Amino acid sequence: MSDPIDPTHAPTSRDPEPAPPLAAPMSSSPGPISSAPLGLSSRPPPARPSFLFFGVVAALSLVADVTSKAWAEIVLSKRTLLDPAIVLIPDHLGLTLAYNKGGAWGLLQNSSEIVRRPFFLLVSGLAIAFIVSLYGRLVVGQRALKWGLPLVLGGALGNLSDRIIRSSVIDFVDFRANWIETMNHGIGKVAKGWGITDHWPTFNVADVSICIGVGLMALDMFLSKRGHEAGRPSSGARLAPEPALSTSGSSKPPSA
């Protein structure tokens, strides 16, 4: 005999359906998702050399040149024609005052001031703009250029100030050597009329700064070239970015 049906518990269409059982939690959580956009490195860009360092080194070079020229003009101008130089190393190194209206090795020495002055001012201005622009693109590791560029700038500003104030550059370091005469003999075989002498063109502290700076620039180019030939990335190159993990559920593990 069947049990009587309780009308109070009879199912009706209005009764809610039983809730499905809760899904069991996953035993392992997915790995961390990379927050870096695809194709971009998460590493910060490399720091660039400070323009404060650039300005300090250039200023020290400029001050050394200006003060040495002032000393040379005051002290060496009092020397007589019979004894015009202060001898530091006999037959090799001395200090004697000279005014150079031209450039290196007497470039445009005999040209008109109307041609010479605008030419050197333009060249100096372009060189300064190039040096500042190049320094702004340096990256960490380019130590040679970090020092070379401000040295060149300080020397260029020292000689430029002379051309603006005096229309000529003060030179006072006089150097002689046998190898200079040998070099001039070799040049004379190619260039007709080249003077044969053991005397290097008289120079100043600005010229020394420029030569050291240019040498450091050449060293940086040589080291960069060797690094590329060896297959090493340059000091400023970024590493290749790591691929971001996919958030799509359709990813499948690689088949064996």
Number of H helices, E strands in the chain: 5, 4
Q: What are the φ and ψ backbone dihedral angles of 144, each rounded to 5 degrees?
A: -65, -45
| Residue found by looking up tokens 């600005």 in the block | 206
- What is the distance between the alpha carbons of residues 15 and 20, in angstroms, rounded to a whole number? 15
* Cβ atoms of 145 and 138 closer than 8 Å: yes
Q: What are the φ and ψ backbone dihedral angles of 145, each rounded to 5 degrees?
A: -70, -30
| Marked catalytic residue, from 162, 174, 207, 220 | 207
DSSP letters spanning 71-123: HHHHHGGG--SSS--EEEETTTEEEEEEEESSSGGGTTTTS-HHHHHHHHHHH
User: Does the annotation mark 174 as catalytic?
Assistant: no
- What is the distance between the alpha carbons of residues 98 and 86, in angstroms, rounded to a whole number? 13
- What is the distance between the alpha carbons of residues 195 and 78, in angstroms, rounded to a whole number? 30
| Marked catalytic residue, from 162, 171, 174, 220 | 171
User: Does the annotation mark 3 as catalytic?
Assistant: no
Q: What are the φ and ψ backbone dihedral angles of 216, each rounded to 5 degrees?
A: -65, -35
Enzyme catalytic residues? 171, 207
